[in-house]
């Protein structure tokens, strides 16, 4: 087993290269913006004063700041939409190279925004960062999923979640006031994501295009075989080539499907449901509410205000550790159990947290129990829903359908994030700690769906997974009708 792992060292190196320039960047994007908030708002006010001779009023400044924060989600949605066309037309590798150029341009705009006295450059830079994240995450997972053997597919694609967690922790660390969270350093803090983009651009030049893209989309059998040999360090690739040939035949030689095809085709209906519920659940499972309430609970426990940032690093580190553990469990326990039981346990723990928050004044030790419950929810989230949801498009869809599946999963994820960001404050103000009960309902329904209806995908080829789902997609029809329908559904 150990020699087998060493044999695939180039695959692990590829996951490192893709992780640094994709998921790691996302983690940094979402975490570094919090540290220089005061300094950026002061810069907006200073710029406004220079232009119009009067300071900006508080409501306008808050609106500009809110848009600076939320525009990342809109940019990510635009990037997710293009993740269905750019990798198909130009290939996965070239799409990532182009994406790195976008990140470098965004970093330069951030870096020179103060010199140019333009907060609009921050807005544009954040939008470009969002585009970079939306496109990069989808193509990153697509690239790894198409390069990995089936026994390593879950582990390899889960490295995306690991690097997101790592990026969050690093962004929180470098954003502290002792390092880069200062008045002088905030433009450099916002521009720091340009460094991993440069690293990925340079190193990715030495890696091949994905074997499945070369074989199935381009018909380049020899190029696909060379790419597999280079990545896997194996000479006997017959089983993998046979699997790709079966997948190619199952799609009847059709070109990549559109988003409309995925949404309307009966032959991928259950795959679509299995994709949508966990992808939306990443934002709708209550994890954002948990992070919001964590600081109030820390204050009630007597934690000094100036120590809050270090506790947020602890929360991020907890998520990183548990997602890393998930990467070692996913190909043993399976996707279905980790997601299904993960949502179930999250719901139960949040019910307990809601109850304890309601009686927090009865005893001085209750806030400490709440702190423990917060860390429990984060651990469960990292071990199951957070990581496994990123694996699904690579697992559930054949080559022709996969790019559009990534468009859908990315769009659902970013739109739910934008929706939660816009409505969350009003929900919390209206319901208080009982806001968790909304998310509890979603987690319980998701757990029931995943545990009772969805087949397991671990250790199976793409064609085997498709056959399992066809039993659900065509459960009311006979075998002969099923074959006919599959053929018709892949032809448009």
Residue scoring higher pLDDT (323 or 475): 323
Q: What is the pLDDT of residue 294?
A: 74
Three-state DSSP class for 259? Answer: helix
For 301-328, how does the pLDDT look when each residue is reduced to its tens digit (9 = 90+)? 677 767 777 777 888 888 888 888 887 7
**C-alpha to C-alpha distance for 255 and 31, rounded to whole angstroms:** 39
In the predicted model, is pLDDT for residue 366 greater than 90? no
Amino acid 411: pLDDT: 85
Which of 41-55, 274-288, 297-311 has the lowest average pLDDT? 297-311
Q: How many CB atoms lie within 10 A of CB 182?
A: 16
pTM of the model: 0.80
pLDDT score recorded for residue 252: 61
Q: Provide mean pLDDT across the span 369-384.
A: 87
Domains recognised in the chain with CATH numbers: 1-207 (1.20.1250.20), 257-492 (1.20.1250.20)
Residue 483 pLDDT > 60:
no
First-to-last alpha carbon distance for the chain, in angstroms, is 45
Give the pLDDT confidence score for residue 254 in this predicted structure: 63
Determine phi and psi for 176, rounding to 5 degrees.
-70, 155
Banded pLDDT at 255 (limits 50, 70, 90): low
Close Cβ partners of 406 (under 8 Å, ≥ 6 residues apart): 80, 83, 84, 138, 139, 141, 142, 393
- Round the average pLDDT of the chain to a whole number and report it: 82
Could you tell me how many residues make up the chain? 492
Give the list of residues 6+ apart from residue 366 with CB closer than 8 angstroms, or none. 356, 359, 360
The pLDDT assigned to 7 comes to 61
The region of weakest confidence among 97-106, 224-233, 463-472 is 463-472
Q: Is the pLDDT of residue 3 over 60?
A: no
Sequence-ordered list of residues with C-beta below 8 angstroms from that of 264, at least 6 positions apart, any chain = none
Burial 238-269 (b: 16+ CB within 10 A, else e): eebbebbeebbebbeeeebbbeebbeebebbb
Cα separation of 456 and 396, whole Å?
10
Question: The tokens of 286 are what?
Answer: 């209550």
d(C-alpha 213, C-alpha 119), whole Å: 41
Rounded to whole angstroms, the maximal C-alpha distance in the chain is 77
- For 142-155, what is the mean pLDDT? 80
Per cent of the chain over pLDDT 70 is 90
């Amino acid at each position: 087993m150990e020699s087998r792992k060493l044999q695939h060292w180039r695959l692990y190196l590829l996951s490192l290269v893709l992780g640094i320039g994709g998921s790691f960047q996302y983690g940094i994007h979402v975490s570094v913006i919090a540290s220089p908030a005061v300094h950026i708002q002061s810069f907006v006010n200073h710029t406004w004063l220079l232009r119009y001779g009067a300071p900006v009023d508080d409501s306008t400044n808050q609106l500009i700041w809110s848009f600076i924060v939320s525009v990342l989600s809109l940019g990510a949605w635009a990037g997710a939409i293009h993740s269905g066309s750019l990798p198909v037309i130009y290939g996965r590798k070239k799409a990532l190279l182009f994406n790195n150029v976008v990140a470098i341009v965004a970093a330069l705009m951030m870096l020179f925004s103060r010199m140019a006295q333009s907060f609009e450059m921050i807005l544009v830079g954040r939008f470009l960062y969002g585009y970079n994240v939306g496109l990069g995450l989808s193509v990153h997972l697509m690239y790894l999923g198409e390069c990995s053997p089936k026994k390593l597919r879950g582990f390899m694609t889960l490295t995306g979640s690991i690097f997101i967690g790592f990026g969050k922790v690093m962004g929180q660390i470098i954003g502290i006031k002792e390092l880069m969270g200062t008045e002088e350093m905030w433009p450099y803090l916002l521009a720091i994501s340009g460094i991993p983009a440069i690293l990925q651009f340079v190193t990715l030049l030495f890696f091949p295009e994905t074997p499945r893209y070369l074989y199935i989309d381009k018909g380049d059998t020899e190029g696909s075989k060379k790419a597999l040999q280079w990545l896997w360090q194996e000479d006997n690739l017959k089983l993998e080539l046979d699997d790709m040939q079966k997948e190619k035949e199952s799609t009847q030689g059709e070109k990549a499907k559109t988003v409309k095809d995925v949404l309307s085709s009966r032959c991928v209906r259950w795959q679509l449901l299995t994709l949508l519920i966990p992808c939306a659940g990443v934002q709708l499972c209550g994890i954002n509410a948990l992070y919001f309430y964590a600081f109030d609970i820390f204050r009630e426990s007597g934690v000094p205000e100036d120590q809050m940032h270090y506790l947020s690093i602890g929360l991020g580190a907890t998520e990183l550790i548990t997602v890393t553990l998930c990467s070692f469990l996913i190909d043993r326990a399976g996707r279905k159990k980790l997601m299904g039981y993960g949502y179930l346990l999250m719901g139960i723990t949040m019910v307990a947290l809601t109850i304890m928050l309601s009686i927090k004044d009865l005893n001085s030790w209750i806030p400490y129990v709440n702190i423990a419950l917060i860390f429990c929810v984060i651990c469960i989230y990292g071990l199951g829903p957070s990581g496994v949801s990123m694996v699904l498009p690579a697992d559930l869809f054949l080559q022709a359908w996969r790019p559009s599946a990534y468009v859908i999963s990315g769009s659902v994820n970013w739109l739910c994030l934008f929706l939660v960001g816009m409505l969350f404050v009003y929900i919390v103000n209206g319901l208080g700690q009982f806001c968790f009960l909304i998310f509890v309902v979603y987690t319980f329904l998701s757990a029931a769906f995943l545990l009772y209806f969805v087949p397991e995908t671990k250790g199976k080829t793409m064609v085997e997974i498709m056959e399992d789902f066809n039993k659900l997609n065509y459960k009311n029809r006979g075998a002969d009708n099923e074959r006919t329908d599959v053929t018709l559904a892949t032809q448009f």
